[in-house]
Amino acid sequence: MAAYRLNVRVFWPLATCGCMALLGLWTRAGPAWEAALLLALLLAGLALRPRRLAPGTPAAPKFDPRRRRAALEDFYARQLRLSPHVLGHSRAHVGLVLGELLRAGRAAGRLGLRGAWVPVGSAFEQHQVRSPDAFDVLVPLRLPPAASLRVERSPGGGGGAWLCALRVAASGGLSGALCAEEAGGAGRLLSAALVLRWFQGHVQRCLGAVRSRLQDRAHVTLAAGPGRPLALRVVPRSDYVCCHLSLAVRLIPAVPVGQALYLTPWPAAQPGALWTLDVSKPEQRLLSWLREHGPADACHLKCLQILKGLRDLGGRSLEQPLASQWGQVLSSYLLKTALLALLLRGPMRAWADQLLVERLEDLVAFLADSLQRRVLLHAFLGNSALPEAIGVPKLLKEASPVNLLADFEGPTLDKVAAHLLNTWRQAPHIIRMYSGHRMFRQRWVDEIMPFSC
């Protein structure tokens, strides 16, 4: 983007020539004043020429705090904030479809669905942005009564994941079609890739069994593809105009491991047998605890929503490969982790809505500093700062800390940190330049719902 700034190295010669030109006009000393005037015009063009700012350039324009607050509030109100009415209707449709689907899944054979679904993600944590048309749910699996699984920590893990292997006892009652032999013949492991394949076919059969009961309420199809999550696409058939949204419900198979913890298939594990630990329920309890101990007008979730919006706008001006790296580094989960880390430092009374800009600036500074230090620890794994009141499971307490930035290269993190700071400094200008309903909607269509239905 271009920014017009005064070149002070040219300003003073320009001022001198300007004075000479004025003096020449006043005295009419001859053609010399004409040359001075032409030179002054030339230097004026040099002084006010546009300079292209590279990503992360700190020489960004400064905005009045009141103007910044007004721009952020308007951006939040027009582009980010969800309607509780529409969100409520969307959740009701999701609950209706999942209820019918999982009731059919309970009647399956030795391996089936438990008949309950676990809401996770931003749509159920009150920090989703733009439109309430994307939902994530865990679908717990019902294992055979004789199944015996033992969770074992596995080394590695892209993106700082806590990877596990589920060892299956010889008499576990699980079909060999869902298990993989461990290297060296040491035993059998529950295969995440094979379970995903079974899960997709099982959900398809359940949907076929209940589609006729749902046809008067919603049109439901199953969307899947190579490298893409399994998702239901729900188009409500309602008289309410506000409910005519095409809802995407991502279905994630989950193995319960006790204390509201689940293991979900690790996407990069195919065709292996690795699972990742899901701590969505403890995170929801922590957010509820923070809301109870904060001011009535606490702005922490509003800060997270605005930061997500600025992240999306800030990536619009980037070129590859930084454009892809920007979204990968500043994932929604990483932004939420940074917010939780800052909230746990306290005090919660400092998060009143009147301090929105100050807290957003703190959050951006904390996140940029974490990127530059290459360290942002998982909010729950091995974190001793968590309040005891939320009931942290023993498995999380005894885990080793996990760095969510461990798999990114240092130069990439430096570039993202610099551009993040620049995006915050120029936030009013970037909001005015890039924010628009059509841009947001097109990004959702391209990135969230590229399924072949």
The DSSP result for 213-278, as a single string, is: HHTTTEEEEEEEETTEEEEEEEEE--S-GGG---EEEEEEEEEE-STT-EEEE-GGGTTS-EEEEE
Q: Does pLDDT of 25 surpass 70?
A: no
More confident position, 39 or 153: 153
Q: Could you give the CA distance from residue 411 to residue 303 in angstroms, rounded to a whole number?
A: 27
Q: Report which secondary-structure segment, H or E, holds 142.
A: strand 134-142
Predicted confidence band at 50 (pLDDT cuts at 50, 70, 90)? very low
**Which residues on neighbouring strands pair with residue 256, listed in sequence order?**
262
pLDDT in tens, 283-300: 999 999 999 999 999 999
The 3 state secondary structure assigned to the chain is: CEEECCCHHHHHHHHHHHHHHHHHHHHCCCCHHHHHHHHHHHHHHHHCCEEECCCCCCCCCCCCHHHHHHHHHHHHHHHHCCCHHHHHHHHHHHHHHHHHHHHHHHCCCCCEECCCCEEECHHHHCCCCCCCCEEEEEEEEECCCCCCEEEEECCCCHHHCCEEEEEECCCCCCCHHHEEECHHHCCEEECHHHHHHHHHHHHHHHHHHHHHHHCCCEEEEEEEECCEEEEEEEEECCCCHHHCCCEEEEEEEEEECCCCCEEEECHHHCCCCEEEEECHHHHHHHHHHHHHHCCCCECHHHHHHHHHHHHHHHHHHCCCCHHHHHHHHCCHHHHHHHHHHHHHHCCHHHHEHHHHHHHHHHHHHHHHHHHHHCCCECCCCCCCCCCHHHCCCHHHHCCCCCECCCCCCHHHHHHHHHHHHHHHHCHHHHHHHHCCHHHHHHHHHHHCCCCCC
Q: Does pLDDT of 56 surpass 50?
A: no
Predicted confidence band at 53 (pLDDT cuts at 50, 70, 90)? very low
Q: Does pLDDT of 214 surpass 90?
A: no
Which range among 187-201, 264-278, 401-415 has the greatest average pLDDT? 401-415
In this predicted structure, which of 145-159, 356-370, 383-397, 422-436 has the lowest mean pLDDT? 145-159
Q: Does pLDDT of 109 surpass 80?
A: no
Is 229:270 a contact under the CB 8 Å cutoff?
no
pLDDT of residue 436: 59
pLDDT of residue 412: 96
Q: In angstroms, how far apart are the furthest CA atoms of the chain?
A: 109
Q: What are the structure tokens assigned to 117, written together?
A: 């679904």
More confident position, 189 or 376: 376
pLDDT of residue 313: 93
Question: Which domains does the chain carry?
Answer: 2-49 (no CATH), 84-278 (3.30.460.90), 281-447 (1.10.1410.40)
**Which residues on neighbouring strands pair with residue 250, listed in sequence order?**
136, 231
pLDDT of residue 52: 40
